[in-house]
Amino acid sequence: MKATQFTSSNRFAATPLTAPVLLGIILFAVAALTGCSSAGTGSQIPTPRGDTKVTVLLSSTANDQLQEFGLVFQSITLTRQSGTKVILFSGLSGAEFIDINGGVQPFATATIPQETYTSARVTLGSAQFTCVTLAPSSAPYPGGIATSTFAYNQTPAANVSVNLPSPIVVTGKSMGLLLDLQVAPSATYPSCYTQGLSAFSINPNFNMTAVKLSSQPNNPRNGKVSGIAGEITAIDAANGTFTIAEPEGALTCPCPGANSLSVSADNSTVFQGAGSFSSLAVGTLVDVDAAIQADGSLRAMRVAAYDSIATNVMTGPLLFVSSAVPDFYLMGRKQQGQDYSARGRSMGLYALSSSTVFQTSGQFSNVATLPFSAVFDGSNMIAGQNMSVSSQSIVSQYTGATTITLMPQTVNGTVLSATPSGGFTDYTVSLAPDNLFPTLAVQPGQTTLLSNPTVMEIYVDGSVQRLNSQPLASGSTLRFNGLVFNDNGTLRMDCAQVNDGVTASSQSNSVGSQAGLVRTTQNASNGRAQTMTTTRLTH
């Protein structure tokens, strides 16, 4: 309350206060004090002061055991301190979580009362996770690529949990809510390679925390979204805005269309591939960095069109590069375009040609200053790298790759040592055995290119976003996000972000574990690339 100073006046000083008047003043003061203090007693429920626009952001905390984790959301609700509920999302919308390990993805925006919320609930439809390994010697095709997908048609409510580390106070005009999937305790399965009936369970385990959105964000903790893939579906040139439809993952989602995001551009937006806003067109496949706005829309910081004439794009880890013919396999973690949107594929089979263009993600501006030869081309691409492959219409089993872009990825590992290297610090990191680099380093028909696939040299400079609470020092397990290069047989990363790491899953959460129905597909190489065994187990 603002204090007001009263000064004496000769006119009032000449008039003494009588006893009844003085008593009236005292009673009024007591009543006022009692009224002011009543709000702080009893249940102490804050009086709503208005509404706040809340944007739900999806994220994940994952080690390297799984290569895909897809969920279909049906609803997200918050419960107030008073016990009443508000709806943040209701409908059907899918999301893939491994691609946003340590990052964020805008999901839904709702206007809700300003109050303290003490619990949250998520209801899910279908769910699935996928792992990748090599088939054992006892398999029909030993040494071949084996992918196993464990799926639910409907996720039981008892299997889903949402943890609030502390009550969420919704206040201000806008804010974010981070819904972070804890991947390791959310999946229980016997092994990646499986034949016949196997018991497994999917137990989505989320943490929900508040996020303060910055007008000039520089990391996921304050509202920056990096690497949003999408297809432009509408352009409003007069207002400098466009709409993108996000790609669906490998998850079969009974959703009424892809998620759409509204994006604005201004004089500070950097355009790559497309020279300016006027170069954008409906149907262009883009990669966007953006700042989340108060209304849940996005302000573009960077817009890249890596292949402006491509009609399809698939993004995911490279699984195999043939030494006999210029072929490779890519896991379709995300896919979009005239063919993929109509009929998704779990795997992309691509052919290289002399006209295939190789490039690195436009998110990184320091590649030329790295203290090693950071080259990415057809001679040194290696299984385990995260890539975005652009192509034209699919006319045969093997699609011609027109443009291949090296994309950021997150690895989980333990720091062994640190050495200064130019303007960087080189951290030698030991990767877990289930990381794709050591898993896929030796395959039949693939030239072994890595001298030590269990170790990665990670280069950190002053621009790296350090979001870790654990020290960046020897012995710490951390997650590193960046571009991974194969430098003459040595794995090296140009790092952009560091997060706390994740230990190996104990898989202690086994609610609803039961055997699944099995569907296994085996594809022989036919003299071209690697053999594949694809297994799907469904509850």
For residue 509, being part of any structural domain is answered with no
Same domain, 223 and 348: no
Same domain, 293 and 317: no
For residue 359, being part of any structural domain is answered with yes
For residue 38, being part of any structural domain is answered with no
Same domain, 276 and 377: no
Q: What is the pLDDT of residues 331-342, one digit of tens each?
A: 988 888 887 766
- DSSP secondary structure code for residue 11 in this structure: H
pTM over 0.85: yes
Q: What is the C-alpha separation between 200 and 513, in angstroms, rounded?
A: 5
For residue 27, being part of any structural domain is answered with no
CB 214 within 8 A of CB 222: yes
Of the candidates 257, 282, 305, which is a domain's last residue? 305
For residue 532, being part of any structural domain is answered with no
Same domain, 364 and 456: yes
Place of tokens 């009086």: 47
Same domain, 135 and 271: no
The whole-number pLDDT of residue 195 equals: 76
The whole-number pLDDT of residue 274 equals: 87
| Residue 21 reports pLDDT greater than 50 | no
Number of domains in the chain: 3
Q: What is the pLDDT of residues 46-57, one digit of tens each?
A: 555 799 999 999
For residue 3, being part of any structural domain is answered with no
Q: What values do phi and psi take at 376, rounded to 5?
A: -130, 115
Q: What is the C-alpha separation between 154 and 156, in angstroms, rounded?
A: 6
For residue 23, being part of any structural domain is answered with no
| Residue 87 reports pLDDT greater than 70 | yes
Helical (H) or strand (E) element with 26: helix 19-37
Q: What is the CATH number of the domain that holds 286?
A: 2.40.50.320
Average pLDDT score over residue span 473-479: 97
Q: What is the pLDDT of residues 176-233, one digit of tens each?
A: 999 999 999 999 998 898 877 788 999 999 999 999 999 999 999 999 999 999 999 9
Q: Domain range spanning residue 424?
A: 312-500
Same domain, 186 and 227: no
Q: What is the C-alpha separation between 387 and 497, in angstroms, rounded?
A: 18
Average pLDDT score over residue span 157-179: 97
Average pLDDT score over residue span 115-140: 92
Structure tokens at 142: 């030993």
Q: What values do phi and psi take at 438, rounded to 5?
A: -70, -30
Same domain, 355 and 433: yes
Same domain, 188 and 236: no
Same domain, 327 and 195: no
The whole-number pLDDT of residue 342 equals: 63
Of the candidates 235, 270, 305, which is a domain's last residue? 305
Structure tokens at 430: 């030991």
The whole-number pLDDT of residue 324 equals: 74
- Is the pLDDT higher at 5 or at 89? 89
Number of helices and strands (H, E) in the chain? 3, 35
| Residue 508 reports pLDDT greater than 70 | no
Bridging pattern class, strands 334-337 and 327-331: unpaired
Same domain, 207 and 218: no
- DSSP secondary structure code for residue 29 in this structure: H
Q: What is the pLDDT of residues 333-372, one digit of tens each?
A: 888 888 776 666 767 889 899 999 999 999 999 999 999 9
Of the candidates 184, 212, 240, which is a domain's last residue? 212
The whole-number pLDDT of residue 373 equals: 93
Q: Name the residue among 156, 165, 183 with its Cα closest to residue 68.
A: 183
CB 516 within 8 A of CB 538: yes
Average pLDDT score over residue span 396-403: 85
For residue 344, being part of any structural domain is answered with yes
Same domain, 329 and 404: yes
Same domain, 224 and 201: no
CB 185 within 8 A of CB 509: yes
Place of tokens 């084996």: 146
